[in-house]
Chain A
Amino acid sequence: MKQLFTLLRRIEELVLSLTFLGLAIVAVIQVICRYGFDYSFTWFEEAGRYVGIFATFLGASLGVKYGMHFSMDLLSTSVSPLIGRILKVLIGLVCGSALLILAWYGFGLVQTNLKYGNTSAAMQMPMYLAYLPLPFFCFIMAIRFYRLGLLALLGKNTNKQEQPA
């Protein structure tokens, strides 16, 4: 079970890095084609935006796991360990629940778009696909927040690292 989760996390991280790198490479190819062969990819701007949103939510969900999101932790790190733990449990509970609600709303948005068959302007891609990462990763983030809360409740040290750049 533990190995499965590690594997999934590795895949997540790899997909994230490769998505951003891949987008950069395609963007460069696109510039070369525009000037070299007088041919521009009409679909790239749109695809870039949607893939970018997918990657952002994927990365944001990993950010929850590693505690890399920007927060004002001056006060919460200077209180006594017990209050700090209580705060962590509460944050996990509140954020997790809010994200569950967001995931539900996002799911509603996907359903509406599926029902009316909206498509994007340039690629004629079904819009529900563009919205899909939102409810999915909000759900994952909710689970990750609940997990952080639970770990704090059980008094286990979460692998929260120093906030990197």
Chain B
Amino acid sequence: MDSKLLTIGQASKMVGVSIQTLRRWDDVGRLPSVRKPKGGHRHYRKEDVENYIKSNVKDLFRLAKSWITSDSGIEPRHDFYCSNSSVFQARLSKLENDLGRVKEISGIFPLIVAIAGEIGNNSFDHNLGNWPDIPGIFFAYDLKKKEVILADRGQGVLKTLKRIKPELANHQDALMVAFTEIISGRAPESRGNGLKFVREVVVNNEIRLFFQTGDARLKIQKDDSNLDIKKTLTNFRGCLARIKF
């Protein structure tokens, strides 16, 4: 066999998705295979696979955005995919360990881990048993670019908050409530203060946050007293967040 040709199994391991996913991607032209005349099994040029990986992990934020906006849900690459909260906890510990070694942020790294934890766990807490298609979250980070990316294809902030605030009319209002209003006591539900914590941490430290849900996006950075919330052209279910530090 040509040494530069990979079997579908080898390609699947490299890209981090299942063989079934690769077949689907081949059918839609996302990552085309080559077929050998004899037998006709799918093979992949090593170069194609490497290029695919390179061009898709160069920009984690874009990768997460294309995952969350695609019409039909597919699981992300397995190293960016936390299918349940236990996987997320384990990867968050790894983030803690990796960030702990970065000198410039030695003082604040627990805060970065804490807000990533709150955003990711929010996704699980609010969608458990109700995931519309792909359960779990996209979670990746780039220490060189100093960013952490989280995304979920869940129900989004508006739908979640409407359960306790049925008067909410749009995604922008929902974002405002999620990041500003403290829900006191444990009724009607104990959840709901994680994003206020995220805001507090960001405005008091050298951290920037981008957060989008539905057709509303929010940006916060140090010393911001007001929330910058705008309507966006893109609209998706779920949440997409980028933490820059």
Whether chains A and B associate is: no
| Chain A residues packing against B (C-beta within 8 Å) | none
Binding site for A on B (CB under 8 A): none
